[in-house]
Chains A and B, each alone.
Chain A
Amino acid sequence: QVQLQESGPGLVKPSETLSLTCTVSGGSISGYYCNWIRQTPGEGPEWIGYIYYSGSTDYNPSLKSRVAISVDTSKNQFSLKLNSVTAADTAVYYCARSPSKGSFDYWGQGTLVTVSS
Chain B
Amino acid sequence: DIQMTQSPSTLSASVGDRVTITCRASQSVSSWLAWYQQKPGKAPKLLIYKASSLESGVPSRFSGSGSGTEFTLTISSLQPDDFATYYCQQYNDYSPTTFGQGTKVEIK
Q: List chain A positions with a Cβ less than 8 A from chain B.
A: 42-47, 58-62, 94, 96, 101-105, 107-110
- Which interface class (under 10, 10 to 19, 20 to 34, 35 or more) fits B? 20 to 34
Q: For residue B49, which residues in chain A have a CB less than 8 angstroms away from its CB?
A: 102-103
Query: Does the CB pair B96–A102 fall under 8 Å?
Result: no
Tell me how far the C-beta of A113 lies from the nearest C-beta in chain B, rounded to whole angstroms.
Answer: 15
State the main secondary structure of chain A at its contact with B. loop
Most chain B beta-carbon contacts within 10 A, residue among A60, A101, A102: A102
Query: Does the CB pair B95–A107 fall under 8 Å?
Result: no
Q: Quick one: given A44-B87, A103-B91, are A109 and B43 in contact (CB under 8 Å)?
A: yes
Q: For residue B89, which residues in chain A have a CB less than 8 angstroms away from its CB?
A: 45, 103-104
- Closest A residue to B95 by CB, please name it: A58
Q: Tell me, yes or no, whether B84 is within 8 Å of chain A by CB.
A: no
Query: Does the CB pair B94–A101 fall under 8 Å?
Result: yes
Query: Does the CB pair B42–A44 fall under 8 Å?
Result: no
State A106–B91 Cα separation when bound (angstroms): 16
Pick the residue among A42, A62, A108 that contacts B96 (CB under 8 A): A62
Query: Does the CB pair A105–B55 fall under 8 Å?
Result: yes
Q: For residue A94, which residues in chain B have a CB less than 8 angstroms away from its CB?
A: 43
State A61–B95 Cα separation when bound (angstroms): 7
Tell me how far the C-beta of A93 lies from the nearest C-beta in chain B, rounded to whole angstroms.
Answer: 11
